[in-house]
Structure 1
Amino acid sequence: MADTIIPMTVTDQTYLAGSSWQDTVSRVLREGGIQQIVYVPDAGHAVAIRDAIADPDITDVVCTTEEEGVGVVSGAWLGGQRAALLMQSSGVGNCINMFSLLTMGGFPFLTVVTMRGEYGEFNPWQAPMGLATQNALELMGITVYRVDDPSDVEETVSAALDTAFLAGGRVAVLLGQRLIGRKKWERN
């Protein structure tokens, strides 16, 4: 009998229970005045998404594609609200053309990106965009801050909020695969 493939699991079960770094991301976004959490569902952002859904002061906006999120967070700013776009690194490639909206409109922008295609990646399809994510963001005029250690999450996300909403910049926080945990397929 052939092996049965079980859907993707995470070697570190923090996605289900939450982890200190995930809780920190969620808390710092709330404390930084984020009023809209815009996202395409992703296990790495599960805690921030769950918390946004539960918080009556935050509007959670689920998108079908990441590029929709760029327009939503820009519209939030025009409506007087701070928003953050949560996505996976593979979604950055979907947003390249929409990032021009940020430049032309002069909108502040904050995205928090869970990385794939890096350390211990089992899925070769994730590697090309994972390797290109930082360069793609920088080519589109977005400042990149990277986090690989849980002790750097609070300061980095807080600095990104200031860069976006106090300095009017466009910034992405990349949460490295060493931080978020390796994913793997399991066989029975």
Structure 2
Amino acid sequence: MTTETWQDGVYAALKRAGVRQLGYVPDAGHIRLIERAHADPDMHAVVLTTEEEGIALAAGAHLGGQRAVLLMQSSGVGNCINMLSLPLNCRMPFLTLVTMRGEWGEFNPWQVPMGSATAPVLTAAGVHVRRADHASEVVDMVAASAALAFDSAVPVAVLFSQRLIGAKVFVK
């Protein structure tokens, strides 16, 4: 018997929103969503070499009549700054789920600068930013954000706080 997690609820919300493509750069914070996507014959999971490829994937999905989501870590947001103009200027829907680093319990000082800059950078790029800090709010927030992105054709990012996903630890 498997206990359903908030990540399973997020996956179900993405399916209800009609998402059929899931692009990701491998990330432990998204592992449950990635596993679910690979196990689902109705979902096309695409491993990316860099996060901005996910914006192009989402644009291509939209042009082909499908919906996509991009999974990435906050450190990848900086890789996307130029590409974020695509969904904004072309009035295309874009949904990304971002696991945060550089916050609560962070061991790696290299993660702190982009972790602090993620929300302001996305906002400055024209992306509507939502933040989930508690498991009880995640599923509704993702569902509402998917509706905003896909029904209003705007870019939306949901940030999963480091406290929500759990701080990574350095293992010696």
* TM-score of the alignment, normalized to the shorter chain, above 0.5: yes
Aligned counterpart for 2:166 among listed residues 181, 185, 188: 181
Asked if 1 retains the 8 angstrom alpha-carbon contact of 2:87 and 2:154, the reply is no
Match of 2:18 among 30, 33, 41: 33
Equivalent residue, structure 2, for 1:49: 34
TM-score scaled by length of structure 1: 0.88
What's the offset of the Cα at 1:24?
Answer: 1.6
Partner of 1:107: 92
Q: What is the distance in 2 between the residues matched to 1:153 and 1:183? A: 20
Partner of 1:10: none
CA RMSD of aligned residues (A): 1.3
Q: Which structure has the higher relative contact order (CA within 8 Å, separation 6+)?
A: 1
- How far off its partner does 1:186 sit? 2.6
Distance 1:46 1:19, change over 3 A: farther
Structure-2 residue corresponding to 1:58 = 43
The residue number in structure 2 matching 1:157 is 142
Change in CA separation of 1:19 and 1:117 when aligned onto 2, cut-off 3 Å: farther
Gaps of 5+ in 2: none
Counterpart for residue 24 of structure 1: 9
Query: Which of structures 1 and 2 has the bigger CA Rg?
Result: 1
> Alpha-carbon deviation of 1:30?
1.3
Please report how far the alpha carbon of residue 37 of structure 1 lies from its aligned counterpart in structure 2 after TM superposition: 0.5
Q: Is the 8 A contact 1:18 1:47 kept in 2?
A: no
Kindly tell me the number of residue pairs found equivalent between the two proteins.
171
Which of the two has greater strand per residue?
Answer: 1
Q: CA deviation at 1:19?
A: 6.5
TM-score (norm 2): 0.96
